[in-house]
Amino acid sequence: SDRTVLWPPSVTERQRRRRRSAGGARRAQSSARPSGTRRCGSARGRPGPAGSGSGTVRPGRARGERLRHGTAWPGSPPLTDGPSLAEAVVLESAPFRHAVIPGFLAGPAFAEALRDELLGLGFRGRRNDLLSLWQSEELGASPEPHVAALRHALCEEFRVWLSAVTQIELEPTIDISCAKYEYTDVLLCHDDELEGRRIAFILYLVPPWEKSDGGTLDLYSTDEHFQPQQITKSLVPSWNTLVFFEVSPVSFHQVSEVVSQKCRLSVSGWFHGPSVARPARHIEAPLARSPHIPYDHEILYEWINLVYLDMDSQAQIQEEFEEQSEILLKDFLKKEKYQLLCEALENKEIRWSSQGPANKRLYEAAEEDSLPDTLKKFLQLLRSEALFLLLSNFTGLKLHFLAPSDEDEDAGEGQAADTTGHSSPKPKQEETEQPANGNPHQPHQSDNTPEAQDSETQSGSGTPVCAGELRRWTHGHYTLVHDSQATEFALDLLFFCGCEDWDPEYGGFTSYIAKGEDEELLTVNPEDNCLALVYRDKETMKFVKYINHRSLARLNKHPNRTGFWDFSFVYYE
């Protein structure tokens, strides 16, 4: 059966637990487990169900004695006795093992006091590719009486019961933390997996809550590759309700965006136990790369603002690019061509396909065979031999055989250029001379880069190649940094359309970060008729920030504009 009744326990079981409690709390072991955080193969923290960091807790004898003597709650434990629950708790097996326990804490007074203690803590904002939320300090040693009492009860009575019903041996340690989600806060799809984590839990201390408020705990089914497929269950937060689930290779979940002004407060963490084997990582098929197609310079004069075809302008652009490793070229296309492009993007005949999986990306990509001629011709421009050469002139990269290289310069100039970092970047020779703007590879579609292949594997003998797509961005879309991204030297090109009055507060910007860090090195905001060029090194990653509910306010001014488009291409020497 996929439904197993867990609660209430039998009277005999309750008596056994009380005898164990009367015998004294288990002593803390001598070595503490470090609080476990990770970020897709890096040192950055990956939050759990409540989206916060964690502090490791080991219950001590003194704390248990204080509870038994009634220091925190005179005469009663903090957890509701099983028989007082209105309904039996059921262990559900789909899409992965989980259960919901309503009325988890005994009596409203304790839950309200716990909530007040938590809200009195200091919270700091956390913002990265995966999340947007407010996090308290770790609760592992928090002295607040109701927090400490809850911590002890989870470590002792609840842990013993949980171990029995899940048949998982759980250590007398937990990670525990607190987070609050406010308007537009979100925690995107992830699986919680980290060595030793076995059971995740979330205790909700929220005001009356509806599904329309957002903030649901969404559970995903998985495909044959153990990748998240679709949301099959959404749990609406409810006051004094605890949810737990087994952490596994398929425990993909998210906290949906909060779209009301309510505060979603929760305490969450993990119980630890023996690690389980993880299946081999699935390698996605990369976005195909191809050499340039034979179009001469006439295609440039047809499309591109003549300012950018002037040799003096190109020299100035290259100087700036070699200094900064990035540049934004405004009014890049001729005005009339840009207008035609925008009109073509509104064509209802274009087929858009959703790109996933959700733990890596969510946006729409155009199916090229459905595009009107104007868009097909612009894609031809982006893949043309003439543009490869123009990009070489803009950047100093050797993307065309006619582009000058270091070997073409005299030795003195070449050495000086190498010393200052102003020469053509050489992926196989440099380390990371331009860490600020080398940019990472994004998930395969959004970065247009493969996950386990380098450019020479795909393109053969170092022939310059490119890969790209036309993307549509609306509310709820994003890309994430993830373990399996390839990292290699390359040039990113982004060209934006339909960005009138786009506010950075909406999200949708492209952030470049150093591998393993949260600090942004560069942000590219969507801007009409602008061409962004960014040179990526091996230690840089990128993501497109989640587009939040604020973006819908733009409809008041632009009723037909739900988002924007970009042409995302990557070029390799």
Predicted confidence (pLDDT) per residue in 382-433, tens digit: 999 999 999 999 999 999 988 876 555 544 444 443 433 333 333 333 333 3
Residues of the chain with CATH 2.60.120.620: 3-28+42-272, 298-572
**In which residue are the tokens 């470590």 written?**
155
Q: Which amino acid is at 534?
A: V
pLDDT at 452 over 80: no
At residue 15's C-alpha, the angle toward residues 12 and 16, to 5°, is: 90
pLDDT at 195: 87
The mean pLDDT value for 153-172 works out to 94
Distance CA 284, CA 33 (A): 34
pLDDT at 311: 97
Cα 241 from chain centroid (whole Å): 27
pTM: predicted TM-score of the whole model, two decimal places: 0.81
Provide DSSP, 63-117.
Answer: HHHHHHTTSSSTTS-SBPPGGGSSS-EEEE-SSSSEEEESS-BSSHHHHHHHHHH
Provide DSSP, 381-438.
Answer: HHTBHHHHHHHHHHH----STTS--GGGS-HHHHHHHHHHT-S---TTT--SS-TTT-
Q: State the pLDDT confidence band at 88, using cuts at 50, 70 and 90.
A: low
pLDDT at 150: 96
Predicted confidence (pLDDT) per residue in 263-285, tens digit: 999 999 999 999 988 899 888 88
The mean pLDDT value for 223-230 works out to 97
Distance CA 331, CA 333 (A): 6
Q: Among 44-53, 364-373, 507-516, name the one with the lowest average pLDDT.
A: 44-53
Q: Among 68-77, 99-108, 355-364, name the one with the lowest average pLDDT.
A: 68-77
**In which residue are the tokens 């990526």 written?**
536
Distance CA 516, CA 49 (A): 21
pLDDT at 547: 99
Predicted confidence (pLDDT) per residue in 1-55, tens digit: 444 444 444 433 444 433 333 333 333 333 333 333 322 223 333 444 444 444 4
pLDDT at 461: 52
* Residues whose CB falls within 8 Å of the CB of residue 298, separated by 6 or more in sequence, listed in order: 386
Q: Among 158-167, 314-323, 406-415, 425-434, name the one with the lowest average pLDDT.
A: 425-434
Q: In Å, how far are 36, 444, 452, 497, 511 from 286, measured between CA atoms?
A: 32, 6, 8, 25, 22
pLDDT at 76 over 60: no
Predicted confidence (pLDDT) per residue in 470-507, tens digit: 999 999 999 999 877 767 899 999 999 999 999 999 99
Q: State the pLDDT confidence band at 120, using cuts at 50, 70 and 90.
A: very high
pLDDT at 65: 27
pLDDT at 408: 57
Tell the CATH superfamily of the 3-28+42-272 domain: q2cbj1_9rhob like domain (2.60.120.620)
Q: Among 44-48, 221-225, 228-232, name the one with the lowest average pLDDT.
A: 44-48
Q: Positive or negative CA dihedral for 78, 81, 85, 89?
A: positive
Cα 246 from chain centroid (whole Å): 21
Tell the CATH superfamily of the 298-572 domain: q2cbj1_9rhob like domain (2.60.120.620)
**Assigned token pair, 154:** 């989870």
The mean pLDDT value for 364-380 works out to 99
Predicted confidence (pLDDT) per residue in 276-313, tens digit: 888 998 888 888 999 999 998 999 999 999 999 999 99
**In which residue are the tokens 């990113």 written?**
492
Which DSSP symbol is given to 506?
A: G
What percent of the chain lies above the pLDDT cut of 70? Answer: 75
Give the mean pLDDT of the chain: 81
- The more confident residue out of 516 and 339 is 339
- The more confident residue out of 89 and 363 is 363
Q: State the pLDDT confidence band at 560, using cuts at 50, 70 and 90.
A: confident
Class of residue 86 by CB neighbours under 10 A (exposed 0-12, middle 13-18, buried 19+)? exposed
